[in-house]
Amino acid sequence: MMGEFKAPKGTKDILPDDSPRWDRFFNAVETVYKNYGYGRIDTPIFEAESLFARGIGDGTDIVNKEMYAFTDKGGRKIALRPEETAGVVRAFLEHDLGRNNPLFKAYYKGPMFRYERPQGGRQRQFWQVGVEALGSADPALDAEVIDCALESLSAAGLEDLKLHINSVGCPICRPGYTTVLRGYILTEPDRFCPTCLERAEKNPMRVFDCKNPGCAAALQAAPLITAHLCAACADHFSAVLAALQVIGVAAEPDPRLVRGLDYYTKTAFEIKSGALGAQDAVAAGGRYDGLVEQFGGVSTPGIGFAVGVERVLLATEAAGRPAAGPDVYVATLGAEARQAGLAAAKGLRRTGFAVAVDFSDKSLKKQLSYADKAGAGFTLIVGDEELQTGAYVIKNMRTGEQAALDPESLEPWLTSQKQEGA
Ligand SMILES: [Zn+2]
Ligand SMILES: [Zn+2]
């Protein structure tokens, strides 16, 4: 059955059969974020376009090529958010959230928008969760934030997580390094692709993101940032690594790890999952000590990360976790029995059971196969005979155990069965 319309390219419906997986994911990560002291923030899905141009950077692909930007009917230049850090920092300043608060901590979840080529786990509307902590430059905070990201991903069922970490320097030491790197690339420009040559001008560190094997080979001997960090950045980086070691987090320093966003300073990190192979990271983040000032606020250091929800779900799907069905499926035979079934379902729902009522009017055999397909824990059968005797037949779909009970006894029986099962 196909109508005329399809979801726009790069978007996906989250269907009722699939949403329990999403709910389980959100419950798992949000519990961890709350345990680490983060409260939820919801900012608008659209903001002034200039917020992202200022925050993310005019020279970035995100702002130049990938942003959904438009002029609204009032003539305002608006953009759908391509990421959430800029929105959180805007809200932090607008509501003066740092006023009585040495460290402001918030987590978010929601859809983001980027006009990109859709591929596995990468869409034009995609979901992110993440945290932002504003107000401390302490390297121990970097370790705590990274630990929070890792703990939330393992709570969501991801295994074999690897932390890649680097320092991308600061406005004092980075320009010196990018000059050296640009010089290296432009000495033998023939060895690089046009994108890399363009990046060499605007944002040289991004050349390390190039997937072109020729460019990768040409970068083998490229100068690395590690040797060009200023003393403050080098000290910060080793303090972060030391703190991670103390809390038992394994880290793999990766001097070629860079971020696509201009605002990162010092710590940058990515988390990859073995379940996705060598594919993109499931989470990425870092420090952005200059961003608040860039938005016109008092200089306030910050750090955070974002998790790509579709990618995590792709990885946990690979690990195989079935969706849960209703607790009870009510099979009914005839109109009168259906009404009695509705009443029984209502009572059970009020006591906390998830109940699905069959409205197909098909044979009992067919209804039992529907119950099976739905993954129901129990089936309640209400027909003429059950109405006459007042005893409903209820069946444990897992053990096959069956009982005939009056409607009032259903709830205690189900509760005891569930406890036995657990
Ligand atoms: Zn520095
Ligand atoms: Zn290249």
Whether 92 maps to a domain, the answer reads: yes
In this structure, the answer to whether residues 251 and 378 fall within a common structural domain is: no
Instruction: Report pLDDT for 279.
Output: 63
User: If you measure from the C-alpha of residue 226 to the centroid of ligand 1, how many angstroms do you get, rounded to a whole number?
Assistant: 10
In this structure, the answer to whether residues 312 and 390 fall within a common structural domain is: no
CB 234 within 8 A of CB 166: no
User: If you measure from the C-alpha of residue 121 to the centroid of ligand 1, how many angstroms do you get, rounded to a whole number?
Assistant: 34
Which numbered ligand comes closest to the C-alpha of 231?
Answer: 1
Q: Name the domain boundary from 318, 347, 376.
A: 318
Which numbered ligand comes closest to the C-alpha of 195?
Answer: 2
Instruction: Report pLDDT for 385.
Output: 86
Instruction: Report pLDDT for 319.
Output: 58
CB 267 within 8 A of CB 240: yes
In this structure, the answer to whether residues 117 and 246 fall within a common structural domain is: yes
- CB hemisphere CA count around 149 (13 angstroms): 36
Q: What is the pLDDT along the chain (422 residues), one digit of tens a residue?
A: 789 999 999 999 999 888 888 999 999 999 999 999 999 999 999 999 999 988 887 777 888 889 999 999 999 999 999 999 999 999 999 999 999 889 999 999 999 999 999 887 789 999 999 999 999 999 999 999 999 999 999 999 998 899 999 999 999 999 999 999 999 999 999 999 999 999 898 889 989 989 899 999 999 999 999 999 999 999 999 999 999 999 999 999 999 998 766 678 999 999 998 866 656 789 999 999 999 999 999 999 999 999 999 999 988 876 555 556 899 999 999 999 999 999 999 999 999 999 999 999 899 999 999 999 888 999 999 998 888 898 999 999 888 889 999 988 999 999 988 777 65
Instruction: Report pLDDT for 262.
Output: 67
What is the C-alpha to C-alpha distance for residues 222 and 243, in angstroms, rounded to an integer? 29
In this structure, the answer to whether residues 295 and 404 fall within a common structural domain is: no
Whether 95 maps to a domain, the answer reads: yes
User: If you measure from the C-alpha of residue 266 to the centroid of ligand 1, how many angstroms do you get, rounded to a whole number?
Assistant: 7
User: If you measure from the C-alpha of residue 170 to the centroid of ligand 1, how many angstroms do you get, rounded to a whole number?
Assistant: 4
Whether 35 maps to a domain, the answer reads: yes
In this structure, the answer to whether residues 129 and 234 fall within a common structural domain is: yes
Handedness of CA 185, 190, 191, 192 (dihedral sign): positive
First to last CA, the chain: 40
Give the bridge partners for 126, in sequence order.
112
Instruction: Report pLDDT for 320.
Output: 53
Whether 64 maps to a domain, the answer reads: yes
Instruction: Report pLDDT for 23.
Output: 93
Q: Name the domain boundary from 275, 299, 318.
A: 318
User: If you measure from the C-alpha of residue 168 to the centroid of ligand 1, how many angstroms do you get, rounded to a whole number?
Assistant: 8
Instruction: Report pLDDT for 165.
Output: 98
In this structure, the answer to whether residues 270 and 400 fall within a common structural domain is: no
Whether 199 maps to a domain, the answer reads: no
Q: Provide the CATH number for the domain around residue 287.
A: 3.30.930.10
In this structure, the answer to whether residues 276 and 302 fall within a common structural domain is: yes
Domain count, the chain: 2
What is the C-alpha to C-alpha distance for residues 58 and 261, in angstroms, rounded to an integer? 10
Whether 178 maps to a domain, the answer reads: no
User: If you measure from the C-alpha of residue 216 to the centroid of ligand 2, how many angstroms do you get, rounded to a whole number?
Assistant: 7
In this structure, the answer to whether residues 104 and 33 fall within a common structural domain is: yes
What is the C-alpha to C-alpha distance for residues 59 and 199, in angstroms, rounded to an integer? 9
Q: Provide the CATH number for the domain around residue 383.
A: 3.40.50.800
In this structure, the answer to whether residues 399 and 250 fall within a common structural domain is: no
Instruction: Report pLDDT for 246.
Output: 97
Domain limits for position 270: 19-173+229-318
In this structure, the answer to whether residues 333 and 245 fall within a common structural domain is: no
Whether 51 maps to a domain, the answer reads: yes
Instruction: Report pLDDT for 60.
Output: 77
User: If you measure from the C-alpha of residue 10 to the centroid of ligand 2, how many angstroms do you get, rounded to a whole number?
Assistant: 25
User: If you measure from the C-alpha of residue 198 to the centroid of ligand 2, how many angstroms do you get, rounded to a whole number?
Assistant: 9
Q: Name the domain boundary from 251, 283, 318.
A: 318
